[in-house]
Structure 1
Amino acid sequence: MFARAALCCFILLLRLELGHAKNNYEIIINTLKCRAVRPLAITEMNCILHRKRTPIISARFQLNETFQYFDIHTTFDLYKKDNTRMNVADLKMDGCKYLGSMYESNILGKLFRRFKKFTNLPTGCPILKGKLYEIRNYTFRSDEYPPNVPGAKWQVRTRLLRRAEVIGDILMEGQLVYNT
């Protein structure tokens, strides 16, 4: 879920149009890490990267308390040729509102409609204590993303917050590579 939010920010920032033809690039995810920073709030939190090229991911988490609200803080960085990072976005958003807006008709509606088939995430708060939430074998398909996106290495870090305290951390690193 949270890795998905981070990737959504990446897509929106690069271009706000969806292509209908198959894109001539591959999305590669090199790293996907999740960790519960505050284990008293999150009983279980893990992510699995099943395949790097045409990535397939799974994630699951279970809370130790019901969340009536939470915030998401996402940073998106591009790597320059000299391997220094350039911050492209630093976004803070209401997590409950984000969950609800994911499935509304928007520019990425096609992407989110397919994403919904692979998850049991709620469409808003509360997020219930003891319920196992999962993203099961979600495949990233380049034809659902904008065309003509520049090739780049990137990093997305998403932090889940309650009362300004970090409770979970997700890191995703990857690249967009054109097929030549």
Structure 2
Amino acid sequence: MNFWLWICCFSLIFKCMRSEDRNFRVIIDQVNITHLDRDVYEQFDCEVYEVNNRTHMDSSHTFTRVVDEVTVHAALDFYKLNSKQRMKLYDVEFDGCYILEHANKNRLFNVYVKNLKKHSNRKFQCPFKAHVRYEAKNLSMDEQDFPSFVPLGKFRSMIEYIMNKKLRARVIATGKIIPFATDPFKVIT
């Protein structure tokens, strides 16, 4: 009897944990790179495009010299739909080299690093070599990596790359979270 009770409980737990289709889509409207230090970056650019109702990005950068340390300042602001009130989801500073190797300890950064590794032409790790092109092609946000409920609204992400206590590049991305019908016959109102 206990065996069947255990099997029923176990199957209920797995049923609850089953991943549901997400009813939202993450759209990146634009990415701007500013404060680019040409003493460090030979080239750094990012292109955003849409394919099949999904935003994709291609990014590439080449360093003018070997980069063996980088501090990253990352911030994410969110504005709920029809609201001008800003919610700061995070504002952190961390060792970029460490995160590339140990992202699995932080779920949020793990999603980013996993996606970066999946779509890159070479391993992103320190030290970064000089005059070598580091590319990530066809990057996109997989909604399955997010919680099942994410509020609709707009966001602004800022990532600053700091080397030797000096700002070397700033990347600002803006976008939105919009409703998306996971059932093609269901109409979202």
TM score, norm. by length of structure 2? 0.75
AA aligned opposite 1:48: E
Matched residues, number: 162
Instruction: Give identity over the alignment, percent.
Output: 19
The answer (yes or no) to whether the contact 2:115–2:139 under 8 Å persists in 1 is no
Q: Structure 2 matches for 1:127-138, cutoff 5 A?
A: 127-138=128-139
Unpaired stretches in structure 2, ≥5 consecutive residues: 1-16, 181-187
Counterpart-to-counterpart distance in 2, 1:118 and 1:35: 24
Cα gap change, 1:87 to 1:51, in 2 (>3 Å): same
Q: Structure 2 matches for 1:16-27, cutoff 5 A?
A: 20-27=19-26
Deviation at 1:89, TM superposition (A): 1.6
Deviation at 1:82, TM superposition (A): 4.2
Structure with greater helix share of residues: 2
Alignment-derived partner of residue 95 in structure 1 = 96
Greater RCO (CA < 8 Å, at least 6 residues apart): 1
Corresponding position: 1:47 with 2:46: yes
The answer (yes or no) to whether the contact 1:54–1:141 under 8 Å persists in 2 is no
SS at match of 2:91: strand
Deviation at 1:105, TM superposition (A): 7.3
AA aligned opposite 1:124: Q
Whichever of the two has the greater Rg, that structure is: 2
Deviation at 1:140, TM superposition (A): 2.1
Residues 10-53 of structure 1, C-alpha deviations (whole Å, 9 max, x = no match): xxxxxxxx972210111111111224521111000000001184
Counterpart-to-counterpart distance in 1, 2:118 and 2:32: 23
Q: Structure 2 matches for 1:149-160, cutoff 5 A?
A: 149-160=150-161
SS at match of 1:55: strand
Deviation at 1:113, TM superposition (A): 4.1
CA RMSD of aligned residues (A): 2.5
